[in-house]
Structure 1
Amino acid sequence: MADVRPFAGLRYNLARFGDAQAMAQLIAPPYDVIDAEKRKALIAASPYNVVRLELPEGEDRYNEAARFLREWLATGILARDGSPAFYVYDEEYALPDGSKLTCRAIFAAVRLYDWADDVIMPHESTMTGPKADRLALLQATRANLSPIFSVYDDTAGTISQAINRGIAVQEASEAGQDNPVRPGFAFADAEGNRHRFSPVSGTEAVAAISAAFADKRLYIADGHHRYETALNYRNEQRAGGGDSEQPAEFVLMALTEINDPGLVILPTHRLITALSATARANLETHLAGNFAVEHFPTGDNPARTVARLLAEHKGEGHIFGAYGLKPGSVSLLRLLNSAAMADSPDHSAAWRELDVAILQKAILQDGIGMTEQTLAAGKDILYIKDPVEAIEMVEAGSAQLAFFLQPTPVTAVLAIADAHDRMPRKSTYFIPKLPTGVVMRSLEI
């Protein structure tokens, strides 16, 4: 199955910046969460911040990114390791409640497969606009600037053991000037997250890691648009006569085991922003016939009350929180009628068991009357991660209803992918969000 290989990483030359702590000013969040203000702040922190490459601006932005990349290579801001390696990355980060977790990923060059090959598995659909943007950037820079985040099942621990052995051998060896792979580093970022980066370059170690992945499927967590972009770029290069070992046949991935205690999916809640009196009445009638509806006092903190109720009833079926159904109350909705999902012939059994799919089909569509087209266009609905903000918007009148979800299990994501289905929009929010700039991969060498 998966062809997972070491690569010669393109990395910041920390000798030019004094020490590893400089990485805190050089990395950036994923490009799709960076607004204009954040971009400006990143460049103010360092003129060499990777955001200049990953999210360029202006009419000639893609060529501008390529120019910066060439300039930074020529002046030693960036440098390529002298031989292939896997790069093990551990990030300690804080959950919204303040608790700390550590997640491990391994950066690798992974062979690109078409979806029909059933080796790299998607769980969500893509849109044309973001793919066109990422393809133009890839064509200009000829580099994988940010990793596609994927997960794999290593219940037996074979891959984990190979990685740990590789790290131990690497740390025991001399990391002197004769080693063509520069040593690892550690730093803390502005949010207090701690990052540790450990190359594994020993011949036996990298061979063992590659072999351990050989019978695995990889499931994309974040990066569907960039994966399809890489496929399109690969196909362009094939049309030009490239062979099966050319750099464009592979893409940079960060791979995490599905049982890693630091791998978390947070829910994305739904706000209804245009609810007519008729639609509200229809919803109430529909809920009464298909759900058990209970109302509870909001308490001093409605968002905390919703979270507590969902936690208390976790595992008791398909349960949703709601705010705005009854004045002064938070509500719990428990699906009673499984036939409410029967009219979904285009979807798999795994899809019909998803809380987020049940909310979409059995409440938003069948209850309120929203259509798939309306939902796809984001009309009359907002997707929001912060339950406090969702409550405030309902109280302010900018939304009429808020629906709260429990997190989607990682195993459900894999089940959807294995069924060749796609999850509804905004079904998964994987954390941690891997930063851009820790390591990159050139397609020119």
Structure 2
Amino acid sequence: CSSLASEDEAFNFVMMTLVDFSDPGLIILPPHRLVRGISKSILNGLMAKLRAFFEIEELPLSVPSVWQQVDDLLMETNEIRLFLFGLAEPLLALRLRDFTTASQMMPYFHSELYKRLDVSIADHIILEKLLGLSSGREEARITYSYDRQDAVNRVLDQEYQLAFLLSPVKIGVVKAIADAGDRLPRKSTYFYPKLPAGLVFYRLV
């Protein structure tokens, strides 16, 4: 009976890990989005819809340095930019045209910092508005990868149709959004390294 249990019983506590924001070993990996189950008609019209919101640059995959260029650009934070793989033969670099218009299409209660994240742009503008998906309710059609090469390979293997390659959320931005009383989009961070499984566990008897 729980009324007879001690206050010190393990089930009265929640396990957590606390890491200093300034720890140089703390890394946040990027939250790439992978989608499937999109109809041919929607895919055929997606490019035109994207052009209404983004300046689109085609990056030929035949250029040996293209993936290094992608990695370098994803580390920049001065522009809202993401990459789309799978819609056309070249890789597509998407740069947001007008933040104000995009901001008005997101829930009003979110902070400006939240709305400027490329993961927010991907979720609210592309997945929800243009593709008719919801990142929180489409687990069969949306998945997440925190490794760029893995995301690309899963499209090449035809497991998924499209990969949206995103920038990692900066640690300072995570703190700033929390300080603003806001929360990050779903599946927008992957803190690394992880604790080894089984390092700490509840006493069983």
Alignment TM-score, normalising by the size of structure 1: 0.40
Q: Cα–Cα, structure 1 residues 391 and 315, in superposed 2: closer, same or farther, change >3 Å?
A: same
The 5-angstrom pairing of residues 220-259 of structure 1 reads 240=3, 246-247=7-8, 251-259=14-22
The equivalent position to 1:318 in structure 2, one of 72, 76, 80, is 80
Task: Find the aligned partners of 1:379 and 1:413 in 2 and give their Cα distance.
Answer: 28
Residue 319 of structure 1 aligns with an amino acid whose one-letter code is R
Give 1:422's aligned amino acid. Answer: R
1:407 aligned onto 2:168: yes
What displacement does 1:375 show? 4.1
Aligned length: 199
2:32: which partner in 1? Answer: 269
1:336 corresponds to: 97
Deviations 1:131-170 (A, max 9, x none): xxxxxxxx9xxxxxxxxxxxxxxxxxxxxxxxxxxxxxxx
Q: Which residue of 1 aligns with 2:152?
A: 391
CA distance in 2, matches of 1:390, 1:253: 29
- Secondary structure at the aligned position of 2:19 is classed as strand
What are the ranges of 5 or more consecutive residues in structure 1 without an aligned counterpart?
A: 1-138, 140-236
Highest relative contact order (Cα 8 Å, sep 6+), 1 or 2? 2
Aligned mates of 2:151, 2:197 — CA distance in 1:
29
Segments of 5+ residues of structure 2 without an aligned counterpart are: none
Q: Which has the larger radius of gyration?
A: 1
**Post-superposition shift, 1:247?**
3.4
More helix by share: 1
**Shift of residue 350 of structure 1?**
2.8
Aligned to 1:247, the other structure's residue is in SS state coil
Q: In the TM superposition, what whole-angstrom CA distance separates every residue of 1:373-398 from its partner, at most 9, and x where no partner exists?
A: x6423132221233223223323333
* Pairwise CA distance, 1:401: 1.4
Aligned mates of 1:270, 1:299 — CA distance in 2: 23
Which letter maps to 1:316?
N
Map of 1:292 onto structure 2: 55
Aligned 8 A contact 1:295 1:326 in 2: no
Asked if the contact 2:118–2:166 (Cα under 8 Å) also holds between the matched residues in 1, the reply is yes
Secondary structure (helix, strand or coil) at the match of 2:156 reads helix
How many Å apart are 1:359 and its aligned residue? 0.8
Aligned match of 1:417: 178
Compute the displacement of 1:273 (Å): 1.0
| Per-residue CA distance 1:298-328 (angstroms, 9 max, x = gap) | 1376xx734522414612311101112321x
Q: What is the alpha-carbon distance in structure 2 between the residues aligned to residue 409 and residue 391 of structure 1?
A: 23
- How far apart in 2 are the matches of 1:271 and 1:377? 11
Other-structure match for 1:150? none
Cα offset for 1:279? 1.5
Contact kept, 8 Å, 1:324 with 1:402, in 2: the verdict is yes
Kept in 2, the 8 Å contact 1:266–1:407? The answer is yes
TM-score (norm 2): 0.81
Structure 1 residues 110-189: aligned runs within 5 Å: none
Percent same amino acid among aligned pairs? 34
RMSD (CA atoms): 2.9
SS of residue paired to 1:414: helix
C-alpha displacement of 1:365 = 1.4
